């Protein structure tokens, strides 16, 4: 998992440049780039449509004020009135776009005609302010041109040389050094069939696939650090998720569920609202306490959680379960116990953090805004009647034997499922 890569803002957040005469140089479009979707074959259209829908949804508070269009390999956002973005609108869009999975990066830009004289003139007008805000005396500068319009008379290389030369003429000898690899300032230029665009800033997004391009899943969400991160990872791969949480009222306080509600609301920023299924496991836990070996309690709880989650998923048409389990993290996450827990259900269980260290999970939790909420200490359902010395290897036949000791195991789960509350 490349955490560093995510949302690196390469340049300081600025929404407009100044012209020398003091007027605002306002942007009139945002170029949105995607990567993985572009590698898709026949179903690429479905992914692109889903991405555009999700961008519109993310921008819904301001959607009346802008147009979102898909034009060959890019999504373009423009002000609805055809003019320039005003500062407030641009700031709102810049704040929301990084949460849209499938996007690789975006750049506020100036849309221009396909005319080298106009492009050059505009680049020269934009450059002084970009250099000024960089703040370095002899910054490293480069131009990156992309030309999808093959009828344009200049090659990408020619365009780059033309623009560097024009900027050098404007700023004077020695204003910058050219460095194609480690530039402090990059001027981007795109030449398309219908228009061209110039930009200085690249905002990185999370990448992945648009939410909705894969089937809906159900995430087992505790109040811990890992499961919110797991839900985020799965949304990032295109699956919208509902959530299911287990509490043990009256042995856990209402705050246990309130904390999870808070996490759900943070995670729903990345998708169209997912529902929360709230399950009281206390009756089952009492039955385990009264009938089963103490050291096996946690494994038995987890098997019941998966069974209940599977029943909900089947009813709600979720195609897989998701957990925040990481191999070896605690006694219930040894290979032996994960195997025994897994065998409680037939449904696919996705464990995106299985190979992650705690520090990696924490780094993502910080980025996505769940860390603070997860750090609030409230009692967890799993700690109710929890053994002080849990078994690290419970073979599946032993788990089955213990479960058989519980009078009416199936009836208890049925009753619990019938009593599930739903936050829609
Ligand atoms: P932590 O960050 O403390 O490890 P966690 O959520 O990963 O929190 P674990 O005890 O490691 O908690 O549990 C492993 C997984 O089991 C969780 O990631 C979650 O998917 C599921 N789980 C555990 N407890 C609950 C619960 N009370 N409700 C829903 N899912 C739970
Ligand atoms: Mg964990």
Atom of ligand 1 at shortest range from CA of 374? 2
Contact yes or no for 138/177 (Cβ under 8 A)? yes
User: CA-CA distance, 365 to 373, in Å (whole number)?
Assistant: 10
Chain position carrying tokens 């033309």: 162
If one counts every other C-beta atom within 10 angstroms of the C-beta of residue 42, the result is 6
Ligand nearest to the CA of 281: 1
224, 251, 331, 373, best to mutate for ligand 1 pocket (most atoms within 8 Å of CB): 224
Distance CA 187, CA 204 (A): 16
pLDDT at 13 (0 to 100) = 45
Tokens 């009264």 map to which residue?
290
- Tokens encoding 373: 């909420």
Residues 180, 144 contacting (CB under 8 angstroms)? no
Short-list 352, 340, 342, CA closest to 227:
352
**Which has the closest alpha carbon to 303: 220, 379, 368?**
220
Give pLDDT, residue 19: 62
How far are the Cα atoms of 110, 115, 142, 159, 195 from residue 118, in angstroms, in the given order?
11, 5, 19, 13, 11
**Exposed/middle/buried for 230, CB within 10 Å: 0-12, 13-18, 19+?**
buried
Is 340 near ligand 1, meaning CB less than 6 Å away? no
Q: For tokens 């909900």, what's the residue?
A: 312
Model pLDDT, residue 386: 81
Quote the ligand 2 centre to 34 CA distance (angstroms): 32
**Are residues 326 and 226 in contact, defined by beta-carbon separation less than 8 angstroms?**
yes
Assessment of whether the complete model's pTM goes beyond 0.85: yes
Give the whole-angstrom CA distance, residue 371 versus residue 108.
30
Backbone angle region of 352, left / alpha / beta, with phi > 0 → left and psi within -120 to 50 → alpha: alpha
Q: Give the residue from 102, 378, 351, 412 showing the smallest Cα distance to 257.
A: 378
- DSSP secondary-structure letter at 177? E
Task: Concatenate the DSSP letters of all residues of 2-36 into one string.
Answer: -TTTTT-BSS-----EE-TTS-EE---EEEEEESG
- Rounded Cα distance between 252 and 235, Å, is 29
271 lines ligand 1 (CB under 6 A): no
Per the structure block, which two tokens stand in for 229?
Answer: 């991160």
Mutate to test the pocket of ligand 1, among 218, 223, 225, 227 (most ligand atoms within 8 A of CB): 227
Q: Give the pLDDT of residue 21.
A: 63
Structure tokens at 293: 């070996």
How high is the pLDDT of residue 139? Answer: 94
250: cis peptide before it, omega within 30°? yes
What are residue 32's DSSP bridge partners?
75, 106
10-residue block means of pLDDT along the chain (424 residues)? 37 56 78 87 90 94 89 90 84 91 94 94 92 89 94 96 96 90 94 94 92 97 97 98 97 96 97 97 96 94 98 98 92 91 98 95 95 95 85 93 97 98 94
The CA-CA-CA angle for residues 421, 319, 351, to 5°, reads: 90
Q: What is the CA radius of gyration of the chain?
A: 27
Confidence at residue 297, expressed as pLDDT on a 0 to 100 scale:
94
Residue nearest to atom 6 of ligand 1 (CA): 224
Q: Each residue of 349-372: pLDDT tens digit?
A: 999 999 999 999 999 999 999 999
- Ligand that comes closest to the CA of residue 228: 1
Q: Contact 274/241 with Cβ under 8 angstroms?
A: yes
Distance of CA 203 to the CA centre of its chain: 14
119/196 Cα distance (integer angstroms)? 8
**298 CB near ligand 1 (under 6 Å):** no
Q: End-to-end distance of the chain based on CA atoms, in angstroms?
A: 32
Distance (Å) from CA 157 to ligand 1 centroid: 53
pLDDT tens-digit readout, 240-271: 999 999 999 999 999 999 999 999 999 999 99
Q: What pLDDT sits at residue 11?
A: 38
Are the C-beta atoms of residues 255 and 388 closer than 8 Å to each other?
A: no
**359-372 b/e with 16+ CB inside 10 Å = b?**
eebbbbbebbebbe
Taking the CA of residue 177 as centre, how many other CA atoms within 13 Å lie in the half-sphere pointing to its CB? 10
DSSP state letter for 80: T
């Amino acid at each position: 998992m490349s955490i560093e890569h995510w949302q690196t803002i390469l340049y300081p957040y600025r929404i407009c440049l100044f012209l020398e005469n003091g007027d605002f140089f306002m942007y009139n479009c945002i170029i949105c780039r995607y990567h993985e979707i572009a590698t898709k074959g026949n179903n690429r259209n479905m992914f692109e449509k889903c991405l555009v829908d999700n961008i519109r949804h993310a921008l819904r508070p301001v959607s009346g004020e802008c147009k979102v269009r898909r034009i060959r390999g890019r999504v373009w956002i423009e002000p609805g009135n055809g003019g320039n973005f005003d500062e407030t609108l641009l700031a709102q869009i810049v704040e929301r776009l990084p949460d849209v999975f499938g996007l690789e990066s975006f750049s506020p830009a100036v849309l221009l005609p396909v005319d080298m004289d106009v492009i050059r003139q505009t680049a020269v007008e934009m450059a002084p302010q970009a250099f000024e805000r960089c703040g370095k005396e002899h910054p490293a500068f480069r131009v990156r041109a992309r030309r999808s319009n093959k009828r344009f008379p200049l090659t990408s290389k020619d365009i780059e040389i033309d623009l560097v030369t024009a900027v050098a003429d404007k700023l004077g000898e020695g204003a910058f050094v050219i460095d194609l690899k480690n530039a402090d300032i990059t001027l981007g230029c795109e030449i398309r069939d219908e228009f061209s665009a110039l930009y200085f800033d690249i905002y990185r997004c999370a990448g992945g696939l648009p939410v909705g391009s894969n089937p809906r899943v159900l995430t087992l969400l505790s109040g811990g650090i890992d499961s919110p991160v797991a839900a985020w990872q799965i949304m990032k791969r295109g699956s919208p998720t509902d959530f299911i949480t287990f509490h043990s009222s009256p042995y856990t306080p209402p705050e246990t569920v309130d904390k999870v509600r808070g996490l759900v609301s943070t995670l729903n920023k990345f998708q169209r609202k997912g529902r929360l299924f709230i399950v009281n496991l206390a009756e089952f836990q009492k039955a385990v306490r009264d009938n089963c070996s103490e050291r096996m309690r946690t494994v038995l709880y987890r098997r019941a959680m998966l069974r209940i989650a599977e029943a909900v998923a089947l009813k709600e048409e979720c195609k897989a379960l998701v957990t925040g389990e990481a191999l070896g993290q605690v006694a219930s996450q040894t290979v032996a116990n994960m195997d025994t827990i897994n065998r409680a259900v037939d449904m696919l269980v996705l464990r995106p953090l299985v190979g992650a260290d705690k520090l990696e999970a924490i780094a993502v939790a910080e980025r996505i805004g769940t860390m603070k909420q997860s750090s609030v200490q409230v009692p967890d359902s799993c700690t109710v009647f929890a053994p002080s010395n849990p078994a690290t290897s419970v073979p599946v036949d032993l788990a089955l034997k213990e479960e058989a000791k519980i009078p009416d195991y199936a009836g208890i789960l049925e009753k619990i499922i019938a009593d599930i509350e739903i936050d829609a």
